[in-house]
A and B are shown apart, each in its own frame.
Chain A
Amino acid sequence: MALYRKKAEKLQDSINESILKRMPDSEAFSFAGFDEQEVERSGYSNYSYWRSTLHMFLKNKVAVFLTLIVFLILLFTFIQPYLPNQIDPFLVNNDPKTGLPFRNVKPNDVFWLGTNSIGQDLWANLWSGTRTSLFIGISVACIEAFVGIVVGVLWGYVRKLDFLLTELYNVMDNIPTTIVLILVSYILKPGIYTIILALCLQGWIGMALFIRNQIIIIRDREYNLASRCLGTRTYKIIQKNLIPYLISVIMLRMALTIPAAIGSEVFITYIGLGLPATIPSLGNLINVGRQLMMSPDLRYQLIYPTIILSIVTVSFYVIGNAFSDAADPKNHI
């Protein structure tokens, strides 16, 4: 109680102070003139959704730090080939003296992280692989989000589609993802786009269901009813009234899809159905490292890719969660 009283007193003091500071007595006790502009000025808040979101996000120091790291990694995968003293990831490096490839050379001045079992530079492979894996992850997240949003909106809005899509969901949700992943990547020609297709094949429906549920909840809220009565077109209601409401969850799902997709690539490459060994990816690098892991001095070939992989996946996970917290208007002041 005492605390509250103290607070109230403080507040009163500060109010008195500001009154005294701003208005001299002569002005405070004279009639106020009529100013048309002042009258029209109403309680306007300078609240902006995106600014508040950014503000909340910046408060989360860990997430900001990880965003920076992911951004730097992403940037570095693109500028790395243009740096001086870089070796082409595909080049098999031969020892000029013997003419034989440098097999499993320890890290040194020329090969910063050593070479792999056929003599390729691991440092260059690592960044090339990170680029591939990030490309897969981000593509899958974007495609899933796009298809999920479009189908989800239709699902929520077009009542005739509801039965059909709900049944489709019931079936698709029960098919083990791993089995689809294995079968599709086995049947199609192995490659980056096959992996992306296999990963997207099932992922979009979860997103679509979520969007559909939210749309059914908010479709008939008063403000949407009002918009409809005023003759707003449906697509504009969706674009202006519904999607902003869902942005936080869409972003969260997208951010979580990226590490999941990268992980699935590792899994599918691990069981031997993923990318061909000629395309460097984190999955391929880990798979190569795994075959050598039982000899302790070659273990570095497994450890470096896993470090990058862990940093990337944990970062996206944390960033996604932090962003979805920040994007939720309930957390804004």
Chain B
Amino acid sequence: MLKYISKRLLRSFLTLFIIMSITFILMRQMPIEGYFQNYDKLSEAQIQNGIRMLGLDKPMPVQLFNFYKNLLKGDLGMSLRYRNNVPVTEILAPKIPVSVRLGVMAILLALILGLPLGTLMARYKGKLPDHLGTAFIVFIQAVPAAVYYLFLQLYGTELLGLGLLFDPDKWTAWILPVFSMSLGNIAYYAMWLRRFMVDQSTKDYVQLAKIKGVSGSKLMFRHIFRNAFVPMVQYLPATFLNTVIGSIYIESLYSIPGMGGLLVDVIKKQDNTMVQGIVLLFATVGVIGLVLGDLLMVVLDPRISFGAKRGNR
């Protein structure tokens, strides 16, 4: 088990390393014009000077090496253009709690709404609740998120009487962003839980329980739900990724001062150090989601073992 975890963690670091290197190299392919606000008016010497100031004149491997050297010291560098010469960590520090709060609330809401929806659909398979739920899932999965986010914002803000600007101190301002962000995960949870519960309900042990006279709801929760919940854990990584992607969208839509909205901003401004900082954070969240998903599966279901291969199981 320990060996498996350490191997897993090592691989995660490798993945992060590659993601960061790719991002780093891609950012260096950006047109030089983008680094200056008034490129046309600058003289050649000024441009060269500016490029040296940004550290873009050295060969790529040297730049990359310096980046990792500083990263090991915990130094993400200075913001180049977003807020000149302010450390990236200092800019990000107040934004992280906002994004985390939003993400955690969205995931909790998705669990609170998604799991009962899936259970309900499995319980009334082929009946009206199932059909309604399926229609909802198809809609959420097929229609681009941008569209229903927009309409939620459009009619939601009117309904709740909110202004367009986000105000973190008003609790009603959190309702729409959190709800919008959780929609994708609600559909996701409901779809897979329904599938797993329907699969479980034809198993022998359920038949036995029925013959023994276990009542409907007890059978549903004690027996079927518990077993169907275990494979749900493998979708945890997707949850994390959905939330991260959702945050890019939602935060710029509602002008929430988090990291998602910031990423788009700093890419357009070609602030390399800021982009690296945010991508590093997002990629770490994604990778942690993957590792957690695997580990939780082992913890929850003693029959699954990744460490040693014993027999067929």
Contacts and interface: CB of A to CB of B under 8 A. Distances in A.
A179 B145 contact: no
A176 B282 contact: yes
B19 A175 contact: yes
A323 B154 CA distance: 36
Nearest to B245: A178
Contacts of A286: 146-147, 150
A170 B11 contact: yes
A226 interface: no
Q: How large, as a class, is the contact surface on chain B?
A: 35 or more
Given A182-B264, A271-B252, A302 B244 contact: no
A316 B11 contact: no
Contacts, number: 105
A317 B141 CA distance: 8
Interface stretch (B21-29, B119-127, B207-215, B296-304): B21-29
Given A174-B287, A187-B29, A293-B150, A314 B18 contact: no
Contact of A318 (B18, B19, B138, B282): B138
Interface stretch (A24-32, A211-219, A261-269): A261-269
B290 A310 contact: no
Interface string B54-88: 00000000000000000000000000000000000
A266 B253 CA distance: 14
A306 B30 contact: no
Nearest to A265: B144
Q: How large, as a class, is the contact surface on chain A?
A: 35 or more
A266 B138 contact: no
A17 to B, nearest CB: 37
Contacts of A174: 15, 19, 283, 286-287, 290
A134 interface: no
B279 A179 contact: yes
Contacts of A259: 142-144
B267 interface: yes
Given A187-B29, A187-B30, A306-B151, A176 B142 contact: no
A183 B26 contact: yes
Given A174-B287, A293-B150, A186 B268 contact: yes
A268 B31 CA distance: 19
A271 B260 CA distance: 11
Contacts of A262: 144
Contact of A266 (B11, B144, B151, B245): B144
Contact of B267 (A171, A176, A182, A318): A182
Given A313-B143, A314-B138, A317-B141, A267 B282 contact: no
Contacts of A264: 144
Interface of A: 170-171, 174-179, 182-184, 186-187, 259, 262-264, 266-267, 270-273, 286, 290, 293-294, 299, 302, 306, 309-310, 313-314, 316-318
9 contacts: A174-B15, A179-B279, A271-B248, A302-B150, A309-B144, A310-B147, A314-B138, A318-B138, A318-B142
